[in-house]
Structure 1
């Protein structure tokens, strides 16, 4: 990464930004999805939804870990002129960029409830849980390395390890207003 003034966003915060909305909207969609009996019945829908929840959580938590590890190994130190973006700003920006999918996904989950009740909502909740687990994993990696991982804010629009991201920058463990894993600092 080149040196110069650039805005950096925490990798764990970018990952964690979608976790809470997807989990809450998924549970609400599942609750609403239990109202219609559906073609398969509520029991089968809930059992299928529980299986989808576990599969989605595991898949989301494990996908692209190799790329995260490669970026971590090749990370460079952040420059003095780099601006570290606040946690709230990163969350707001990331959620605003994903506003349309965050509205359409629960509607699609509720729509699938007429076929298989609650399954779509539990799938969404599983994706949110997987994102949270990935952020926790990143927090563990940050604690072990005693560094925080950052990504250029302008390149992280598609994701922290998307194709346009060149790599991570690092700072000390006390930098920024979010602790390891992207949670609020106490």
Structure 2
């Protein structure tokens, strides 16, 4: 980064980075969690887990939307010397920074199966689904604004994942074609050559 440029990571990619591991760890924990009968019994455990899945997905998807919207309103154009971080690097940094939390959450979900079968796993999967929904909402905002939202890497914290945290003062924006991730943080699909 020369001449005062900053490293920038896509906001939607940071949000979406935890969706897949939380989803899959939750699905695995819920599947294994069906095996022990638990204190409540399997039927009650699965029904409670389904309710927790819906609540977690809704809460995570709706959390901090006002903060994201406020930061979106104050978008400044990215500078010519700013360095746009690749999607894969952003995802890898988030997952490395949160690997122990993911492991602890998975073990807690497995352990909870002895009390309420599958509920902990479905709660974890619901959190992953909520992150995916939030990233999709950010993608719709990016399309509506016709720009991609970026956050300074040094504002994300040591674990690489608080795109709407207190340290974040403003977002930067680029054209919709910048970077290697589509609006919403998914991999950009390249059109097939005819």
Instruction: Give the TM interval when normalised to the shorter protein.
Output: over 0.9
Secondary structure at the residue paired with 1:151? strand
Query: Separation in 1 of the partners of 2:40 and 2:61?
Result: 29
Unaligned runs of 5+ in 2: 190-194
Residue 4 of structure 1 and its aligned partner are, at CA, apart by 2.3
8 Å CA contact 2:38, 2:114 repeated in 1: yes
- How does the TM-score come out when normalised to structure 1? 0.97
Secondary structure at the residue paired with 2:174? strand
Query: Separation in 2 of the partners of 1:109 and 1:77?
Result: 43
What is aligned with 2:192?
Answer: none
Note the aligned Cα RMSD (angstroms): 0.9
| 1:169 partnered with 2:172 | yes
Which residues of 2 match residues 95-174 of structure 1 at below 5 A?
A: 95-156=95-156, 157-174=160-177
What is aligned with 1:34?
Answer: 34
Query: Separation in 2 of the partners of 1:6 and 1:105?
Result: 33
Query: Separation in 2 of the partners of 1:94 and 1:158?
Result: 6
Query: Separation in 2 of the partners of 1:18 and 1:153?
Result: 17
Runs of 4 or more, structure 1, over 2 Å off, are: none
What is aligned with 1:11?
Answer: 11
8 Å CA contact 1:4, 1:79 repeated in 2: no
Between stretches 153-162 and 69-78, larger displacement belongs to: 153-162
Query: Separation in 1 of the partners of 2:161 and 2:80?
Result: 26
CA deviations over 1:116-137 (Å, ceiling 9, x no partner) = 0000000000000000000000
CA deviations over 1:13-48 (Å, ceiling 9, x no partner) = 000000000000000000011110000000000000
8 Å CA contact 2:15, 2:161 repeated in 1: no
Query: Separation in 2 of the partners of 1:158 and 1:122?
Result: 23
Query: Separation in 2 of the partners of 1:123 and 1:39?
Result: 18
